[in-house]
């Protein structure tokens, strides 16, 4: 096994092994646990940086292992994988810091961080999966490793939410499995290759392939929270803030969206999908989800629930980008995979800060929060403006390319959907900012648990992550033309997709 074969495995184990050790750590070994967490997260970043550099140079990193003849676990670091791997690894590092501060002194921390590491391992696996079987393998692992995080608090309400979460995700997984096995039955093996591989089956299979596509998209659509499969997401808000951050910015919903990207581009192939007449319905579904999510968000008073519905809406930007045939739409969708991640995690970090520091859970309680917690609120504002796709934010870039893509694909309705969504985003974010910055605080905070210390408005470990990610949001927006920016990377991928199709 050469170094290049081993690297993907190392990326995986850099969170897997710490996870196993952490499970067996006694509760009080805080220092050891923290060290393991950060070491794992840091090491993963190092490996990934190395691979990014290599992939850009055209190196191939691939690990293959046959469970039984014909069923292979494949971890491959292609450009698309790197996009998602980098995002999840970077945000995992931030979230780990945040979680250490957040869970200060709460029970069952070893269990939490154990599953936390497993969850990231699964996410990285989903990202680097080199064929459909491996994708499903890690996709289900993700379900199993996130359930304990969702129900971590162990209250009756959490358990109920946990059951709903399981019902949705396991059912989705079952549907996905059917589609996957079916495709394996037809093709023998389903590797992820730019331009897709199912086109080799003649037109005789068109109907079967449409059905399979339906199964696959329905399967991953549950995690991607496509309407009407989104019901679990707002419920899952009972989870601790770092979990919401990770689940909704990175791990779960992204795994779903990423799955759709893989299926459309690297299993079916963009043009073949279009040829089967599947892209239009997918685009419509995405459009509906975008609007429905934004509309529901409008009426949520609970801050985290409002953010959750916003996620429902925003994740479908990615799906829309994928469904709009053409390189530009693709770029928009892929880059939003990253941008939505950093923006939404910022928002969840901040929501967590309000809750932890002042006990604020509702929008209606936010009056004057900006004066008490200026830095947090600043980060929150950046994230929110990004969601509204204001200039100089990451959101602007994605929105720009998506709208372009819609125009090129000749889907003006999509442009309207995006515009409407931006307006709705403004409608549900601006009031929050207004309350936080300009309204005066009427009565005492619901539950002020962390006092202000100098300029430090809350626990430093809680404050740093959102600030960093907020800076990232601005950077991604203003430096989008930089060769290492997500945008450039997305362009690289899009090229490969469509070049290979023309071939």
Using CB under 8 A, list all residues that contact other proteins: 66-69, 71, 108, 111, 136-137, 140-141, 143-144, 148, 151-152, 154-155, 158-159, 162-163, 166, 170-171, 173-175, 177-178, 181-182, 184-185
- Comparing CB distances to other proteins, the nearer of 204 and 444 is 204
- Comparing CB distances to other proteins, the nearer of 93 and 137 is 137
Q: How far is the CB of 145 from other proteins (least distance, A)?
A: 11
Taking alpha carbons only, the member of 219, 237, 239, 214 closest to residue 229 is: 219
Q: Which residues contact 492 (CB under 8 A, 6 or more apart)?
A: 56, 79
Sign of CA dihedral 50, 54, 56, 60: negative
Return the CA Rg of the chain: 21
Q: How far is the CB of 112 from other proteins (least distance, A)?
A: 11
- Comparing CB distances to other proteins, the nearer of 55 and 128 is 128
Cα 209 from chain centroid?
27
Q: How far is the CB of 26 from other proteins (least distance, A)?
A: 11
- Comparing CB distances to other proteins, the nearer of 165 and 292 is 165
Q: How far is the CB of 320 from other proteins (least distance, A)?
A: 30
Q: How far is the CB of 124 from other proteins (least distance, A)?
A: 15
- Comparing CB distances to other proteins, the nearer of 38 and 177 is 177
Instruction: Print the SS3 string covering 52-63.
Output: HHHHHCCCCCEE
CB atoms within 10 A of CB 54: 16
Q: Which residues contact 292 (CB under 8 A, 6 or more apart)?
A: 227, 312, 313
Task: Assess contact for 333 and 409: CB atoms under 8 A.
Answer: no
Rounded to whole angstroms, the maximal C-alpha distance in the chain is 71
- Comparing CB distances to other proteins, the nearer of 154 and 277 is 154
> CA-to-CA distance for 294 and 311, rounded, in angstroms?
9
Q: How far is the CB of 141 from other proteins (least distance, A)?
A: 6
Q: How far is the CB of 182 from other proteins (least distance, A)?
A: 6
- Comparing CB distances to other proteins, the nearer of 163 and 441 is 163
């Amino acid at each position: 096994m050469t170094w290049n074969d081993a690297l993907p495995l190392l990326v995986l184990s850099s969170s897997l092994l710490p996870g196993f050790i952490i499970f067996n750590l006694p509760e009080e070994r805080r220092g050891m646990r923290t060290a393991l967490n950060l070491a794992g997260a840091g090491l993963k970043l190092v490996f990934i940086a190395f691979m990014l550099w290599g992939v850009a140079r055209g190196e191939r990193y691939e690990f293959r292992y046959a469970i039984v003849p014909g069923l292979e676990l494949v971890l491959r670091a292609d450009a698309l994988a790197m996009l998602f791997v980098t995002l999840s690894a970077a945000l995992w590092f931030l979230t780990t810091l945040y979680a250490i501060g957040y869970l200060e002194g709460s029970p069952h921390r070893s269990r939490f961080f154990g599953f936390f590491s497993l969850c990231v391992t699964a996410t990285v696996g989903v990202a680097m999966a080199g064929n459909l079987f491996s994708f499903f393998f890690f996709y289900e692992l993700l379900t199993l490793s996130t359930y304990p995080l969702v129900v971590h608090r162990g209250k009756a309400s959490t358990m109920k939410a946990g059951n709903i979460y399981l019902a949705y995700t396991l059912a989705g997984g079952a549907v996905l499995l059917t589609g996957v096995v079916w495709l394996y039955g037809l093709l023998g093996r389903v590797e992820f290759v730019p331009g897709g591989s199912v086109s080799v089956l003649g037109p005789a299979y068109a109907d079967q392939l449409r059905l399979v596509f339906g199964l696959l998209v329905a399967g991953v659509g549950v995690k991607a929270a496509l309407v009407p499969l989104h019901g679990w997401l707002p419920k899952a808000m009972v989870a601790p803030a770092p979990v919401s951050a990770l689940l909704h910015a990175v791990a779960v919903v992204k795994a779903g969206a990423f799955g759709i990207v893989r299926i459309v581009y690297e299993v079916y192939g963009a043009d073949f999908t279009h040829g089967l007449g599947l892209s239009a319905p997918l685009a419509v579904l995405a459009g509906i989800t975008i609007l429905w999510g934004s509309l529901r968000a409008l009426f949520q008073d609970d801050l985290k629930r409002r953010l959750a519905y916003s996620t429902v809406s925003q994740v479908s930007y990615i799906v829309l980008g994928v469904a709009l045939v053409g390189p530009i739409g693709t770029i928009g969708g892929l880059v939003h995979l990253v941008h939505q991640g950093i923006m939404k995690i910022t928002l969840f970090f901040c929501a967590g800060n309000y809750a932890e520091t002042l006990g604020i859970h509702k929008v209606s309680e936010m009056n004057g929060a900006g004066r008490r917690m200026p830095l947090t609120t600043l980060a929150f504002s950046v994230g929110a403006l990004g969601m509204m796709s204001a200039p100089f934010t990451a959101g602007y870039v994605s929105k720009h390319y998506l709208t372009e893509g819609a125009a090129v694909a000749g889907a003006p309705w999509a442009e309207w959907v995006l515009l409407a969504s931006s307006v709705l985003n403004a409608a549900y974010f601006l009031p929050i900012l207004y309350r936080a910055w300009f309204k005066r605080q009427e009565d005492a905070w619901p539950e002020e648990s962390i006092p202000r210390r100098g300029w430090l408005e809350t626990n430093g470990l809680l404050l740093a992550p959102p600030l960093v990610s907020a800076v990232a949001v601005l950077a991604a927006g203003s430096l989008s033309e930089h060769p290492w920016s997500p945008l450039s990377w997305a362009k690289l991928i899009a090229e490969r997709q469509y070049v290979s199709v023309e071939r």
